[in-house]
Amino acid sequence: MWQRTAGVAILLMLSLAVATAQKAQKITFPSRDGLQITAEVLRAASTTAPWLVLCHQARWSRGEYRETMPWFADLGYNCIAVDLRSGGEVNGVVNETHQRAVAKGLGTTYVDAQQDMEAAIEYVRKQFKARQVILVGSSYSAALALVVAALHPEQVNGVIAFSPGEYFVRLGKPANFIAQHLAAVQCPVLITCAAQERHFCEHFQQATRSGQQVRFFVPPNDGAHGSRALWKQFPRSQAYRRVVREFLGHFFPVGSTK
């Protein structure tokens, strides 16, 4: 019996090691207006595991998830990190979607990027037969994730929003644009903010309705803006990781305890 149990444990450890060592695959697919989107895919050990669609913050790229995408894969989740057309460069990774959009004279505002997020969701559902899709956003894309989840409840099973805010006022949207959409979201949501961004979470807490499955996390101090709060170099990164791990494990379990 001990040998059988030990064998199962070794196989589990090996499968997790494979997920960590596996190199992300670079792909392209069309956005809703035909613009080619660059993304990177990292598969978990289980092909039927939920998919995380990872979206970056302003002036950045899919490189925002260079450190954390392998961590998500080790937890048991399939990942696709997407270059949105509103972006730039981070961690030495240039946003190729943004470059193409500029070359074609297409809009690159926050609002313009919404179609790229929607196209990424449609891509993983069609190409990889994804059964569950969790939309992960950072800063402006965290806010957009709440909009997309409200507009497409049949496509989005969950949202993790790192530092969402009402970032669209200068683009002609009302001051409660994101809060209004949050109130319409039907799926489980995790919203995190840095300590200095506490007002964001308070704003969205007031917008939630009774019965919604919305969780909030704000560290007592420190933290970081956007999904980089998960980067190990930042204070409270382990607290953020614990909260994210618990959220995923509760609503979208895959059997991993890492």
pLDDT at 14 over 50: no
Q: What is the mean pLDDT of the chain?
A: 92
Model pLDDT for residues 195-251, shown as the tens digit of each residue: 999 999 999 999 999 999 999 999 999 999 999 999 999 989 999 999 999 999 999
Model pLDDT for residues 28-67, shown as the tens digit of each residue: 999 999 999 999 999 998 889 999 999 999 999 999 999 9
Domain-located, residue 161? yes
Q: Quick one: pLDDT at residue 1? A: 41
Domain-located, residue 219? yes
* Count of the separate structural domains present in the chain: 1
Domain-located, residue 199? yes
CA 134 – CA 188 distance, rounded (Å): 9
pLDDT at 20 over 80: no
Domain-located, residue 257? no
Domain-located, residue 258? no
Domain-located, residue 256? no
Model pLDDT for residues 62-119, shown as the tens digit of each residue: 999 999 999 999 999 999 999 999 999 999 999 999 999 999 999 999 999 999 999 9
pLDDT at 142 over 50: yes
CATH number assigned to the domain comprising residue 17: 3.40.50.1820
Band of residue 4 on the pLDDT scale cut at 50, 70, 90: very low
Domain containing 124: what range?
A: 2-251
Q: Quick one: pLDDT at residue 257? A: 40
Domain-located, residue 164? yes
pLDDT at 15 over 60: no
